Amino acid sequence: MKGQEGKVAIVTGGTSGFGLAISRAFVREGINVLIFARGKTADLKRIKEGLSREGEGRVICRALDITAEGAAEKMVDLAVEKFGMVDIVVNNAGAARRIEVPYFDFPLEKFSEYMLDQFKQFAVVPVQLSIAAAKVMAKKYAKVGYDEAGLPKDTGCIIYNLSQSALQPIRDDLLAYSAAKRAALSTVETLAGVLGRYNIRVNAIAPGYANTAGPRKFYDRFPNIRSDIDRHTPLKPSFMDPSAIVPAVEYLVNDRYVNGVVISIDGGWHLRFDRYFNETI
């Protein structure tokens, strides 16, 4: 991420998994990072201290429920207060709510609860944060001018973590989660079209399955699902270390012309490829 030193990034859900990997990469490249997540103060302090030793970027960690009223404004206001600007936003926070029983056995009011919760986390909140940040970004990036190749000299960058598991294929346990993530995909495309005129790019990554505590716990309970994931992932491992997404994030941050795209980072799992005559090499 050459040339990004001193920029300011907001990362939601930046204390674990993909968000922590992204935050660590930013700090190592001299990007100042504001991390917002649910968690105990002691845990956030420990994470901040650890990240601060990773590089030159300054780190601020705050406990904040991103779905709370006014949370988006609070995140952006703190970034401006501490650093005077927002350059990068990573919408990463959120947890899946799974339906692990037959639909006919699931209370109807629970469907409503799950759907509203997941749309709030993955569609509503990222839009609020993206627009709140874009209002600040536009003051800087709308007037950057163009280089000899006709490209903006610099751009703001908004990234969504969409999760490949929510996009392809559809799974019955992820009814609410998938619906919300697909709605988020629509907001990525719409915001890319609206904010591009201000030289603010909006893109997404779609990681595969993470080798972290939460997924391990779930797939240990359902080895049949783990087996299906293994079967359909051409590149191994089927469950990726969160740091595997960093090169794609670096590319999106460095670029100045990619807008409204989704980068799949899942070892080809989304292909749903079946081998019948090539089981041995």
What amino acid occupies position 153? K
Among 30-34, 56-60, 68-72, 269-273, name the one with the lowest average pLDDT: 269-273
pLDDT band at 255 (very low <50, low <70, confident <90, very high): very high
Residue 194, pLDDT > 80, answer yes
pLDDT above 70 (res 228): yes
Per residue in 45-95, pLDDT (tens digit) is 999 999 999 999 999 999 999 999 999 999 999 999 999 999 999 999 999
pLDDT of residue 257: 97
- Which pLDDT value is given to residue 279? 76
CA–CA separation, 17 vs 201, rounded Å? Answer: 24
Cα 193 from Cα 197, distance rounded (Å):
8
pLDDT digits (tens, 9 = 90+) for 90-139: 999 999 999 999 999 999 999 999 999 999 999 999 999 999 999 999 99
Q: Is the pLDDT of residue 221 over 80?
A: yes
Q: How far apart are CA 239 and CA 227, in angstroms?
A: 11
Q: Mean pLDDT lowest for which of 6-15, 32-41, 194-203?
A: 32-41
Residue 62 has what pLDDT? 95
User: Could you tell me the pLDDT band of residue 206, with boundaries at 50, 70 and 90?
Assistant: very high
- Two tokens, residue 28: 């190592």
Q: Which residues contact 178 (CB under 8 A, 6 or more apart)?
A: 166, 167, 170, 171
Work out the average pLDDT over 195-223: 94
pLDDT of residue 159: 98
pLDDT above 90 (res 272): no
What pLDDT sits at residue 165?
A: 81
The pLDDT, as a whole number, for residue 1 is 60
Q: What are phi and psi of 107, to 5 degrees?
A: -60, 140
Q: DSSP 3-state assignment of 200?
A: strand
184 close to 262: Cβ distance less than 8 angstroms: no
Helix/strand number for the chain, H first, E second: 10, 9
156, 200 contact by CB (below 8 A): yes
pLDDT of residue 169: 74
- Under the banding of pLDDT at 50, 70 and 90, the label for residue 168 is confident
Say yes or no to pLDDT of 281 above 90. no
278 — pLDDT class (breaks 50, 70, 90): confident
* CB burial readout 256-277, b (16+ within 10 A) else e: beebbebbbbbbebbeeeeeee
Please give the share of the chain, as a percent, with pLDDT higher than 90: 88
**What is the rounded distance in angstroms from the CA atom of residue 164 to the CA atom of residue 210?**
11
Distance CA 96, CA 270 (A): 19
- Tell me the two tokens of residue 81: 């207060």
Q: Which domains does the chain have, with CATH numbers?
A: 8-265 (3.40.50.720)
Contact 43, 122 (CB under 8 A): no
DSSP 132-174: HHHHHHHHHHTT--B-TTSSBS--EEEEEE--HHHHSS--GGG
On whether the CB atoms of residues 162 and 262 are closer than 8 A, the answer is yes
Mean pLDDT of the chain: 94
| Top-confidence residue, 168 or 184 | 184
**Residue 158: partners with Cβ closer than 8 Å, 6 or more residues away:** 88, 89, 91, 130, 133, 134, 191, 195, 200, 201, 202, 203
* Helix (H) or strand (E) segment spanning residue 82: helix 71-83
Q: How many CB atoms lie within 10 A of CB 119?
A: 17
pLDDT of residue 276: 86
Query: Averaged over 8-18, what is the pLDDT?
Result: 95
Q: Which amino acid is at 279?
A: E
* pTM for the full predicted model: 0.95
